[in-house]
Every structure is written in C-alpha cells, then in structure tokens.
Amino acid sequence: TLAPAIGLGVLLRNVLVAREPLYGLSEWAHRFDERLLGLPPGRTSLLNDDRVGRCLDALFRADRAALMTAVVVHAVRTFDVDLREVHNDSTTVTFTGQYASATGHTVFGHPTHRITQGHNKDHRPDLKQLLYVLTTAADGTVPVWCSVDHGNTTDDQTHIDTWDTLRRIVGRPDFLYVADAKLCTKENMAHIARAHGRFITVLPKTRREDTWFRDWIQTHEVPWVELLRRENARRQDGPEEVYRGFESPMRSIEGYRIVWIWSSQKCAQDQDTRQRQIQRAITELEHLRARIHAPRSRLKTLGRIQEAAAAVLAQAKAARWITTEIRTLDEPHYTQANAGRPGKDTQYVRHVRQRFELHWEAQADALHYDDRTDGIFPLILNDDTLSLSQALVSYKHQPSLEKRHEQLKSVFEVMPVLLKTVHRIEAFLFLYFLALLTEALIEREIRRQMTAQHIPSLPLYPEGRPCKAPTTDRIFRLLEDVRRHRLIGPGRACQKRFYDDLTPLQCTVLRLLGLSPTAYFQAGDADAS
C-alpha cells in the first residue's frame, strides 16, 4: 500500500524539519503538499505508526551498509567533498527502560545489537545504551560513515573495521585518519600503518612516553615553536589563543612521531581547575575538622578520621597536591576522688583522653611539577611529511565532529528513544545518519557561498543578530512559515497560485543555496520546469 522507500522518505523529512513522533506523522504531513513529501496524490492518510514501523522493518532487512556506501559515494561525487582527511568519534544513544529483549538475538535473519550498560558519555551509568560511531570528512564536517554497536563496546574495538570501510569508500589508503586517544593501541595503529594509511591521535597519559616527557621538561627548557595564533573563540574580549609545538626527541615504542602541543587556553584551564580542586578540598577539610571537634562527633577513632580525610581529597580530586596528618594529643581532665561537696582537702584524680587534630599541607613539589606541564598534550602520528602546524590544524578540527553529535542529540532529539524494538531502533538510527548528511551538505554549501561572495554573516539569530556560520536548523526556521496556495477548480485543476512575499533575507539564503524564488515555490509542481 505504501512503498517502504516513500514512507522512509517522509520520515527522513520529518526528522529534518519537525521531529514529530511516528503517531503524529500523518497530522504533520497534512500541512504540506504531498508531492513535496514524495507522496503520490491522496496518500497522506496512509501514514500511521504501524505502517511506518513496517517501513523501518524493511530498512532493517535491507543491506544498510551497501546503501550507506552508495549514498555517501553519490554525495561525495555530486558535491565534490574532499576525503583526504577524515575524523572519527563516538557517542552513546541512551535509553530509558529495561529493553530486556535487546540481547543481540536474530531478527529477520539478521543479528541485532545489545542495548546494555557501558561507559555512558551522557554521564548516565544507570541507563542502557548503544554506541554510535560517526566519521566525517574535514571538508565541511560531512558525515561519510556511521556504525552502531553494542552498548558495552569500547571505542578501541571499532577503529579497524571503520578504517577498512573508509578505505573502500575513498578508494585509496593514504587519507589522514584522525581520532581520539582510543585509536592509540598497538593493533589499531599497526593495522593502518601496514596498509600505508596515515593517522593522528592523542597519546594517552598511561603510556611511558608521556611520563618520560613530563619528567624531562622538569630539568630542560623546551624550545617551543609558535604554530598558531587566533582570536579567542569563546570570549570576544578574551586573550588570544596561542599554540606552540615541539617534536619530542623520543619516538614511540612502535617508532611513530610524537608531537607535543602547548595551548594557552588549556594552560589557563589546567591552572584554574587545579586551583578550584585545591580550594574545594581545603574547604571540605575545614568542615571535617569542625566535625571532629563537635561535642557529639561520630569520628572518634583514628581510622575513621583517616578514611574521612581520604574521601574528601578523592572527591575533590586533590590528593596529589594536599597531604593530611592526624595528630594525637593528650587532653587531661580531673574528677573528684570521692563523692561529696568539694572542699580544700578534696583530692582529685587526673585522667587523660586522646584528642585528634587534623592538619594538612600543600605539596610544593607536585604543584611545581604540574605547573611545568600545564597546557601540554601529545599527538602521535605516522606521517613524517606533516609539519607541526599541519598536524595541529588537522587535530584541532576534531571538535567540529563533536558538533555533529550535538546536533544528533539536541537538534534531532534522538533521545528519548520512543521505539521499543531494537531492529527498528537500528533502522531509525540509519535515517538519523542520512539527516546529519543532509544537514552537513546544506551548511557546507551556504558557508562556501558566503565565503565566495564575501558575506561575513547573516542576521539569522533572534533580534537580527549576526550568524557567521549558519546551521541548517536556522535556515529551516527562517523558511518554515513561507506558504503557497493553489486555487483548485473543476476536475481538481489548478486555476491560480498564490505565494507569500519573501523577505530580502530569505531571498539571500535561497540565492546562496543556488535557488531562485520561482524555483523554490514551484518545487514539486508537475508542470514546473
């Protein structure tokens, strides 16, 4: 009755512009010309949650990997997306509920993923999740691959399969693969290097090379080279962001380059974080001291006081910079030897009881050590041709990928998940990838045209405030109230068309997207050119 491709196309459009639940899809679709939704005439009434759910079943049964590859290759060729550098990162899709049936069982002959607890990146260890792995091109942060895995899958287990897939999409292995520290395992890096691939990632603090350099700079002056200087991205009146680099004299145990970066912004953050943690610890230790001296204190033994002091430092994350000491003092007090009213001949008995004093002291050596290492972080890479500046710029593009995760959760509202069957959830997450891809291509096009036409910003924010990097969501909001009307005569023939007047800003946005107002209003018309 309703072809799965048509139902999924309507659902994808809804994810992009409305985010209505499945049961509200029909009501939402009635606001639009059916042809603009890809629906045949008179088919809007067929949309309901059961029928769209069966469309998701069909998508799950399909070869989604091949479909994603075909879509991405087509988009890359059509929009000429540069794939010489790609970035990978993962996030979690969190679920509220037990999802007891999501155990990895087979549905329609295909295995499903386990919705289970793992390292939750939404800071909800009490909830179950799926792992959502996304890879984007540095060119416009355009998504080029996505995979979903079990909720307890660790990031380091996903890189080899992802890289192999990207090699097939790109058609060659020499693209630059940038990822976070979970890429830095011997197996992952060796797999890419053996296939003549290139990578950049962060060297974890658990590696010996990290410890060696931090110890080395305690007694050596590092000849930093300035790599980048730019305006403060967070505060207009803030200090400039400065980045310096240094090629480590020691390579990794595998023989890869290690490049150390010093960031002025990270240096300030490290100092501020350390100071706040120390201040918090001292405040809590003062409260603990008052509790120890309270008349009805329950902290009466040395062991309990030591445990309480250790818990304060652990909670404040300041145990490295503060040490505590509990001193035992003898406090005498006297009682009458005999009962009765005291007099000049009354004898007294001396008693001694122990009293505990809590003291703490800052560790000057640890503070000095960390002050020398503030603001630095190491990159490990296997490309000997990249300069320090090129390595830094490539890695600094990684936060742009995190913006795609933010769009997935805040703009597209992937959570809370309102579906209960795991195979439909997996199919729906595939549609979210297509939505992210669509958004990225629109943003890339309008920003490229703004640069080409020397337009620094557009007044897309409330009160006409300037927007230097328009998002697709802002563009859709700008155009969401534009209407067109048709006067229908006998035989359902269109007698006349009426259109809302477009504002100058709306006309500018359409022009930047390569559309004329006439083409915009005639979209979907059977007789339109």
DSSP of 283-332, one letter per residue? HHHHHHHHHHHSTT-S--SHHHHHHHHHHHHHHHT-TTTEEEEEEEEEEE
Cα(322)–Cα(283) distance, rounded to whole angstroms? 12
pLDDT of residue 528: 42
pLDDT of residue 377: 96
Higher pLDDT, 42 or 278: 278
Can you say whether the dihedral through the CA atoms of 460, 463, 468, 473 is positive or negative? Answer: negative
Across 439-461, b (16+ Cβ under 10 Å) vs e yields: bbbbbbebbeebeeeeeeebebe
Can you say whether the dihedral through the CA atoms of 56, 62, 65, 71 is positive or negative? Answer: negative
Distances (CA, A) of 23 to 2, 27, 383, 425: 16, 8, 52, 16
Residue-wise pLDDT for 98-113, tens only, equals 998 899 999 999 999 9
What would the two tokens of residue 441 be? Answer: 């291509």
Residue-wise pLDDT for 460-473, tens only, equals 999 899 999 999 99
Cα(370)–Cα(320) distance, rounded to whole angstroms? 10
Distances (CA, A) of 414 to 6, 50, 89, 91, 266: 22, 20, 17, 12, 31
pLDDT of residue 526: 56
Single pTM value for the model: 0.89
Cα(434)–Cα(270) distance, rounded to whole angstroms? 38
Residue-wise pLDDT for 59-96, tens only, equals 999 999 999 999 999 999 999 999 999 999 999 999 98
pLDDT of residue 69: 96
* Closest by CA position to 162, among listed 203, 197, 116: 197
Name the band, by pLDDT with cuts 50, 70 and 90, for residue 145. very high
